[in-house]
Amino acid sequence: MYPWQASAWTQLQQMRERMPHAILFHGPAGTGKADFLETFAQALLCENVRPDGHACGECASCGWFAQHNHPDYRRVRPEALEDEPGESEEGGDGERKSKSAKAPSKEIKIEQIRQLADFMNISTHRQGLRVVVLYPAEALNMPASNALLKTLEEPPPGTVFLLASNSLDRLLPTILSRCRKFALPMPDHAAALAWLKEQGVPDADSWLREQGGAPLAALNASNDGNREDMDALLHFLARPSPDGALRSAEKLAKAELPALVAWTQRWLYDVFSYKLSGTLRYYPRYQKEVAALAGRAGAAGLLRAIKAVNERRAVADHPLSAKLFVEDMLLEYTACTA
């Protein structure tokens, strides 16, 4: 758990006497929801819970949980997130398996939900609860969502589902209606910044602002240590032109498209915010460039650009051509901000 989650943890303990069969934790990405769920799951399975609601860390159940082999616990998440040590290793010599030509799926598939059936239809090993953790819930594809819905409609006794979502509006309303919702808000800037500085992150304030105030996203971005793609995009956004759009698309064709779209969304938010109120949120180091663009771009054009890039967010994971996707986005931005 993280310092900013202490009050949420205290609030959560009030639900333990009458535990709902499904809790949906929701809040911004990069704030530690998955770790919060894992901590709560261990506490639910613990045989000697501490007065503050945390797991004891010493009982047999906690030992199994720490070794990722608790018989009454299952975790469901996309294949792309299954990167823990040992999960993609050969048995025996410990060498990594050769990479498949097919990229790991970013969806939670129906097969993963169906695999829970046997788990939920047998008695628990320690005469306690069985716990299923699933995240991010918006990664459920439609068949998997429908399969999960059937389970939530007729929940097996003694089973608790803990789901996490970065975006409630991407979930089926029927799933939302069958879960108790629990908000895990973004930490305030001061708390997130203090934590990042404790982790030794240089230029922590810039990293934090560029990630929208999400401390774990800021930490991961700083550890990657590569601002090249972001800086190339921001350099173009500050001085848009048709020729610049084509040159930048060539450079950025191999970048992560969802990240490019997110950076552009944040840039446009800053430009529009500066035009209306003279304030910046994400890119204070580009204040001069944002101010110049806000001064000459019309409000209607900025709103069109914001609408266009928001629509691109939905298809950024599966473009027909990455280069053409980036070209089209940057040219459209150029036209809207002219």
pLDDT tens for 31-42 read: 999 999 999 999
Contacts of 128 (CB under 8 A, 6+ apart): 44, 45, 47, 61, 72, 158
Tokens standing for residue 164: 């996490």
Q: How far apart are CA 196 and CA 215, in angstroms?
A: 7
Q: Is it the case that residue 124 has pLDDT exceeding 90? A: no
What pLDDT shows up at residue 83? 58
- Inform me whether the pLDDT recorded for 137 exceeds 80: yes
Please state, rounded to an integer, the average pLDDT across all residues of the chain.
90
Is residue 94 predicted with pLDDT exceeding 60? no
Q: pTM of the full predicted structure?
A: 0.81
Please give the Cα distance from 208 to 190 (Å, whole number): 10
Q: Residue 84: pLDDT band by 50, 70, 90 thresholds? A: very low
Distance separating alpha carbons of residues 227 and 335, to the nearest angstrom: 26
Range name among 86-95, 235-244, 296-305 with the lowest pLDDT average: 86-95
- Predicted confidence (pLDDT) at residue 59 exceeds the cutoff of 80: yes
The answer to whether the CB of 23 falls within 8 A of the CB of 164 is: no
- pLDDT tier at 62, thresholds 50, 70, 90: very high
Query: Peptide bond before 136: cis, by omega within 30 degrees of 0?
Result: yes
Report the pLDDT value the prediction gives residue 92, as an integer from 0 to 100.
36
pLDDT computed for residue 226 by the predictor: 67
**Quick one: average pLDDT of 203-231?**
89
Task: Lay out the sheet containing 73-76: strands in order across.
Answer: 73-76, 130-134, 159-165, 22-26, 180-183
Residue 314: the pLDDT is 80
Alpha carbon separation from 11 to 184, 198, 289 (Å, rounded): 11, 26, 44
